[in-house]
Amino acid sequence: MSIRLLYIYTVIVYLYALRMDRRITTDAENQKLIQILETSRELFWKHGIKRISIEEICSEAGVSKMTFYKHFKNKNELVKDILNRIIGDGIERYSNMMKQDIPFEEKVRQTLIMKMEGTDRMSQEFFNDYYLHADPDMSAFIQEKISDNLGMIMEDYIEAQKKGEIRKDIKPRFILYFINQIYEMIKDPQLESLYSDPQEMIMELTNFFFYGIMPRK
């Protein structure tokens, strides 16, 4: 589990910008793919992944099932495609932010804003399907993406530590350990019951990770 699940979302984390990096043969086919992606994204975000059927996606998007299967083998492949685009956009935004010549504290502030945007209107159903009850295939996919980006994230934090922007006495391996514990906490129904929605819980954990229990200046 990496820091990425705390501020890029999740999951998690960004469902607003979809970059069309798949090769499309015609403008019409491109538009149909966009309709499938945007429609399914909205449906998944509102109702969760498991409840939404391919038939419902096609009906809402105004495309045939034949068109759907022209682009995706099944619903899991659709979900992976959407998440790949979300993760790609999130990593790009994160990288651009980290390259800015601004104090690390400001980067943290922007990270929190990104997290709030990314989890806004997240339904409990989506949170359950994506975080708590993902099937083995989806869980393996998520873990693969985490591993792909872990090195880059940790390099940024180690560099910030060298500059004195993160406590010099904290071990980078402890950060990873702590993030793993936060991931386990997210799946705890007792913790979940303390909050009105997933965004409130995620933001609490994110703020606690960066600031602890002391008031911010």
Taking the mean position of all CA atoms in its chain, how far away is CA 132?
Answer: 14
Place of tokens 């990314």: 118
Handedness of CA 8, 77, 64, 88 (dihedral sign): positive
pLDDT digits (tens, 9 = 90+) for 98-111: 888 888 888 877 87
Q: What pLDDT does residue 189 have?
A: 84
Look up the pTM and report it: 0.69
- pLDDT band of residue 140 (cuts 50, 70, 90) is confident
How many angstroms separate the CA atoms of 34 and 3, rounded? 30
Where in the chain does DSSP place strands (E)?
Answer: 10-13
Other Cβ atoms within 10 Å of 43 Cβ, number: 19
Whether residue 199 has pLDDT greater than 60: yes
Stronger pLDDT, 35 or 133, i.e. the higher one: 35
Whether residue 134 has pLDDT greater than 80: no
Please name the amino acid found at residue 21.
D
**CATH C-level class of 4-13+77-211:** mainly alpha
Domain ranges of the chain: 4-13+77-211
